[in-house]
């Protein structure tokens, strides 16, 4: 069973080919600004990967589905139309064509981003225990799943780049900070001070939230990191069990497999 999964995030689009739930090729990513120029080539590349010869008899296999998970609804029709044009298949939109098979403890699910629930689903399927998922992207999102697989909710705050832009745009003299890891404890100039402050605030928020979640859950959970800034933020903290860049894409592939099995 193979599926092409597409994740339209707040600033980037990612896509990958999955076979039996596992990514068969590293996911490809482009920014929103690159969609008009690069999306068709990205889709052609994935389509070609999915049609590699299966054996010496040169058998080919067409993906059973193409699924889209999107938190950027203004781009969903554009991407869906490109999929139909390049691949000749109508994509399945998660949340519209397929529900995500996970219970929540939320008071209002109507505004929950599918990326958060897909990441939680994939994490729980892999761990079968309470977990915390840290999304380090445009926003810093820290979510929790209970031991019995219920999405408990979480927190949403500004990501690294959003912090840097906010400080620059809402002050008269502060420059736009770089996002390089600070090497000094004390910022010895304004740029260094911005870096120290942004990283300390972000990591401090993450640590406090994970500790509070663990107290509420009753034990230390499995902690997973994902998102474009996860690699630069999380390893040094010593609290993350694994970094999974393609967590949302894997969750999208799992949703398709669940629905395909239910219908068979």
CB 181 within 8 A of CB 232: yes
Kind and range of the H or E run holding 232? helix 230-233
Q: How many CB atoms lie within 10 A of CB 209?
A: 19
Active-site pick, 115, 143, 229, 246: 115
Residue 185's alpha-carbon distances to 67, 226, 229, in angstroms, are 45, 26, 21
Residue 65's alpha-carbon distances to 76, 107, 250, in angstroms, are 16, 32, 14
Alpha-carbon gap, residue 155 to 213, rounded angstroms: 11
Is 115 a residue of the active site? Answer: yes
CB 213 within 8 A of CB 221: yes
Collapsing DSSP to helix, strand or coil, 53 comes out as coil
Tell me whether residue 122 is exposed, middle or buried, using C-beta atoms within 10 angstroms of its C-beta: 0 to 12, 13 to 18, 19 or more: buried
In degrees, rounded to 5, the angle at the alpha carbon of residue 96 between the alpha carbons of residues 45 and 116 is: 75
Active site residue ranges: 115
């Amino acid at each position: 069973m193979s599926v092409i999964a597409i994740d339209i995030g707040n600033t980037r689009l990612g896509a990958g080919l999955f076979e039996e739930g596992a990514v068969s090729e590293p996911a490809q990513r482009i920014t929103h600004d690159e969609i008009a120029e690069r999306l068709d080539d990205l889709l052609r590349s994935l389509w070609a990967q999915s049609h590699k010869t299966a054996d010496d008899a040169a058998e080919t296999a067409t993906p059973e589905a193409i699924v889209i998970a999107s938190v950027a609804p203004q781009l969903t029709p554009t991407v869906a139309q490109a999929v139909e044009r390049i691949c000749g298949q109508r994509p399945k939109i998660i949340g519209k064509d397929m529900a995500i098979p996970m219970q929540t403890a939320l008071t209002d699910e109507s505004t929950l981003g599918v990326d958060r629930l897909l990441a939680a689903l994939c994490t729980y399927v892999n761990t079968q225990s309470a977990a915390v998922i840290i999304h380090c992207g445009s926003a810093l999102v820290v979510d929790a799943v209970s031991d019995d697989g219920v999405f408990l909710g979480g927190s949403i705050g500004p990501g690294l780049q959003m912090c840097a832009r906010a400080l620059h745009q809402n002050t008269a003299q502060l420059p736009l900070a770089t996002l390089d890891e600070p090497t000094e404890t004390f910022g010895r100039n304004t740029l260094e001070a911005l870096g120290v402050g942004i990283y300390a605030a972000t990591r401090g928020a993450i640590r406090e939230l994970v500790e509070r979640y663990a107290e509420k859950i009753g034990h230390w959970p499995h902690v997973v990191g994902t998102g474009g800034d996860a690699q630069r933020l999380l390893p040094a903290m010593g609290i993350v069990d694994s970094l999974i860049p393609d967590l949302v894409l894997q969750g999208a592939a799992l949703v398709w497999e669940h629905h395909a099995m239910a219908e068979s």
